Amino acid sequence: MTAKDFAALVTLGALWGASFLFIRVAVPALGPFVLVGLRVGLAALVLGLFAVAARRTLKLRGLWAPLLFVGFANTVVPFSLISASEVHLTASLAAILNSTTVLFTALVAAVWLGESLTKKKIVGVLLGIFGVAVLVGWDPLPLSPVVLLSVAAVLGASFCYGVGGVFTKRVFAGVPPLTLAVGQQTAAAGIMIPIALTDLPGETPSVTVALCVLALAVLSTAVAYLLFFYLIASAGPTATSTVTLIVPVFGLIFGVLFLGEPVGLGTIVGLAIILCSVVLITGIGLGKAGKAPAH
């Protein structure tokens, strides 16, 4: 990996990690549906304009049915679940829980694609489950039914990312990444914007909230996906998959620095255990290809 690629990788991890910060600030004012509608709508617009500026031809004919499914499973549902959960969870906790995407992807791929679950992967899955238990049970955030429901929502989002990733692998083989990104975000916007219009906030959002929405849509979604596609082409999937280890670290750092979120021993231990499970499942750093999660 070149220095340029490494810089792009760290930037991608920072952008995806920062998305949890932007959501945590904006969702109490806008609600999850409006926030997700704005996020996917603006991201689709930015990616579409990029395609026009780059003179890329987007061949979407015949793809809209599967794009609607992947837009729903890989964008609308997980974005909404994460946004709703962050009304009650810290940004750092949500980011760490979302790193279980790799765990769920391995399980979905084993069931749907028949990919073998090696002993190393099974140990990684069990370790990941244990890490989530440590993180939630030993976190400074007081446990309550709504907190546990919010944790379940983030884990549900991770499962949806796993389903969406496996579906994409099966159905969109050979489709250019930019075409898939524009199509997915456009399909998600078509689903989400009508829902968002039924739940508009009663007050005009603050400048801070508006800036967080713009940063979430433009930086953490549109620009992040473009960086992801660049790295896949330049550094390859194995190197790019190491972003899995970077995202929760940045999510934790940003939550502490900018939101003053508490960090207990359980947070650090849970993060370490989950990241170890990710290494075992993906083979990151062990010479095997892995998968980077969607955000």
pLDDT in tens, 77-87: 999 999 999 99
The answer as to whether 290 is a domain residue is no
The answer as to whether 140 is a domain residue is yes
The answer as to whether 88 is a domain residue is yes
The answer as to whether 40 is a domain residue is yes
Q: Which amino acid is at 154?
A: V
Are the beta carbons of 32 and 84 closer than 8 angstroms?
Answer: yes
The answer as to whether 288 is a domain residue is no
Q: Which residues constitute the domain of residue 232?
A: 3-282
- How many structural domains compose the chain? 1
Closest CA to 38 of 180, 226, 203, 214: 214
Assigned token pair, 247: 């995202």
Query: pLDDT tens digits, residue range 248-262?
Result: 999 999 999 999 998
The answer as to whether 28 is a domain residue is yes
Closest CA to 23 of 95, 88, 86, 99: 86
d(CA 146, CA 132): 17
Backbone angles phi, psi at 140, to 5 degrees: -65, -20
The answer as to whether 139 is a domain residue is yes
Query: If you average pLDDT over residues 17-25, what whole number do you get?
Result: 96
The alpha-carbon radius of gyration of the chain (Å, integer) is 18
The answer as to whether 287 is a domain residue is no
Neighbours of 1 (CB within 10 A): 16
Assigned token pair, 80: 């909404």
Structure pTM? 0.88
pLDDT recorded at residue 289: 42
